[in-house]
Amino acid sequence: MALEHAILVSLLERPGSGYELARRFDRSIGYFWAATHQQIYRVLKRMESDGLIGARTVVQQDRPDKKEYSVGPLGRTALSRWLHEPIEPESVRHELAVKIRGAAFDDPAALIQEVERHREAHADRLAHYLAGELRDFTGPEAPAPLEAGQELQHVVLRGGIAYERMTLAWLDDVIATLQRLGPERRRRP
């Protein structure tokens, strides 16, 4: 179960509550491992009862109290063990690609709008990543000699940036292809 390990990594980078983790999974760590708050709360509860993490209640003014989790020795060991186990190369799940192949049995041109919507979403993500890179790693505000953890966060972010750039170029290719095939070349077997 990789969510467990993603949570361990995130809590080692900085302790936090379920709610805070959920927001991190909407940003930073969620760029390559998505999770909803329900999933996170459920797994946190199990991890606490397994002794991987510990919780302390933080009383707050003007907002509800929270339970701040941090990683215990058992959690550290569990993460270490997982890091030394081999994992399978990812199997991709790309719904849009299914749609593109399916468009052969419908109207290819009708898919252009949808692909453009995706293109915009990826352009936004790329802009977001680039802003984060400048803020945390390459800009004047960033700490000059990065420590190991930051170097590793940076290389992961570079992966996200490369992915978004590649995807944008590909979506342009898709749009051009869909435009070349008009509704007139629609296949009706």
Partner DNA sequence: TCCTTCTATGCAACGAGTTGCATAGACAAG
Partner DNA sequence: CTTGTCTATGCAACTCGTTGCATAGAAGGA
Stretch 11-70 residues interacting with a copy of itself (CB under 8 A) = 12-13, 29-34
Q: Which residues lie across from 56 on neighbouring strands?
A: 68
Asked if 86 touches DNA (CB under 7 A), the answer is: no
Residues 26 to 85 in contact with DNA, rule: CB under 7 A: 34-39, 41-42, 44-45, 60, 62-67
- Where residue 106 falls (left for φ over 0; alpha for ψ -120 to 50; beta otherwise) is beta
Position among 58, 96, 127, 131 found at the interface with a copy of itself (CB under 8 A): 96
Residues 101 to 160 in contact with a copy of itself, rule: CB under 8 A: 101-106, 108, 110-111, 114, 117-118, 121-122, 147-149, 151-156, 158-159
Smallest gap from Cβ 65 to a copy of itself, in A, equals 26
Asked if 181 touches a copy of itself (CB under 8 A), the answer is: yes
Distance CA 83, CA 104 (A): 43
Task: Report the chain's terminal Cα–Cα distance, integer Å.
Answer: 44
Asked if 138 touches DNA (CB under 7 A), the answer is: no
CB 183 within 8 A of CB 108: yes
Token pair belonging to 181: 């095939």
Nearby residues of 1 by Cβ (< 8 Å), 6 or more positions away: 43
Under the rule (CB under 7 A), what is the footprint of DNA? 1-3, 17-20, 22-23, 34-39, 41-42, 44-45, 60, 62-67, 91, 93
